[in-house]
Amino acid sequence: MIEARRLHILRAVADHRTVTAAAAALYLTPSAVSQQLTALEQETGHRLVERSARGVRLTPAGEILLAHTNAVLAQLERAEAELAAYSSGAAGTVTLASFATGIGLVVAPALARLAETAPGIRVRVQDAEGDASLPMVLDRQVDVAVAVEYRGAPGADDSRLTRVALYAEPFDAVLPGGHRAADSERIPLAELAKDPWIGPFPGNPCHDVVVLACEQAGFQPVLEHTSDDFRAVVALAAAGAGVALVPRSALRGMEVTGAVVRPVDGNAPTRRVFAAVRTGAEGHPLIAPVLDALGEAAG
């Protein structure tokens, strides 16, 4: 008989590609993960992983089992949801990870709605960049992620996750007040090709949006300054340090003295924000109201 918790460990190893990283994500020791993998191989009668200096990869038998693992774990999530519904599920705690702007824009309003519509549900919020929250959901560190599209993200067709679209927002150009294009109503990105740029660190989903938008405009931006804090980005632009692209919601209520904000001409770069849960958990009586509240706040 295959134990479900060992299947979860197998998926974590496949996702993180090393035993050490999988162990950290699951709050286990590497030796415990290795022992569970060995036990799973004994249960199945097949070698499931191959270890090398570069990490761990699944064998063909491991890949077969992983495909079934995703379906099994999703069905277990559904079973938990139905059992929770059977016992009313009127009270409990949901953990949610979101990037900072998402917390302000949709998570906080959703919590205010839930306080009125589902007072028994307590939501614990963690600040996490858009590229960190999805692995946290898959590793069961949190129940819900508010995330953004980024290179390398699990796709919309990934069977492990169920998504709820929340909102899409454009990036605006932020220029020093004395910039040659400051008087323009809209900014063609190609005009900024030779400027120094200010932007998020590589790995931040917004970094991918900025770089991709510039590449589509025909150039590679020269990032002279990096910060994941958009207030710092705007302050640097106001000081004349360079130009930037900043999500519109991040600019709301921000002091931009010394800088000008202009929409991008043509197809503006956009970040698409969604909520995600482990497939099968979307019907859980604690999680479903949270997803509904997020959707209402975004709408």
What is the model's pLDDT at position 87?
Answer: 67
Same structural domain for residues 207 and 225? yes
Name the domain count of the chain. 3
Q: Which of 41, 59, 81 is the last residue of a domain?
A: 81
pTM of the predicted model over 0.85: no
Same structural domain for residues 194 and 226? yes
Q: Which two tokens stand for residue 240?
A: 């004349």
Q: Is 288 helix (H, G, I), strand (E, B) or coil?
A: helix
Closest C-alpha to 38, from 15, 60, 9: 9
Same structural domain for residues 240 and 285? no
Same structural domain for residues 208 and 244? yes
Same structural domain for residues 174 and 263? yes
What is the model's pLDDT at position 236?
Answer: 96
Q: What are the phi and psi torsion angles at 155 (to 5°)? A: -75, 170
Encode 61-96: b = buried (16+ Cβ within 10 Å), e = exposed.
Answer: ebeebbeebbebbbebbbeebeebeeeebeeeebbb
CATH number assigned to the domain comprising residue 16: 1.10.10.10
Structural Rg of the chain based on CA atoms:
22
Same structural domain for residues 172 and 247? yes
Same structural domain for residues 279 and 195? no
Same structural domain for residues 56 and 183? no
Whether 285 contacts 91, CB under 8 Å: no
What is the model's pLDDT at position 68?
Answer: 87
In the chain (299 residues long), the average pLDDT of successive 10-residue segments reads 82 87 86 85 85 82 86 82 69 91 93 92 90 90 91 81 93 94 93 95 86 92 93 95 93 87 90 93 92 94
Q: Which of 64, 81, 98 is the last residue of a domain?
A: 81
Same structural domain for residues 46 and 67? yes
Same structural domain for residues 240 and 173? yes
CA dihedral 124, 128, 131, 135 (to 10 degrees): -40
Q: Which two tokens stand for residue 12?
A: 């974590």
Same structural domain for residues 138 and 277? yes
What is the model's pLDDT at position 39?
Answer: 84
Same structural domain for residues 193 and 262? yes
CATH number assigned to the domain comprising residue 115: 3.40.190.10
Q: Which domain holds residue 254?
A: 168-270
CB atoms within 10 A of CB 56: 22
CA dihedral 81, 87, 88, 92 (to 10 degrees): -70
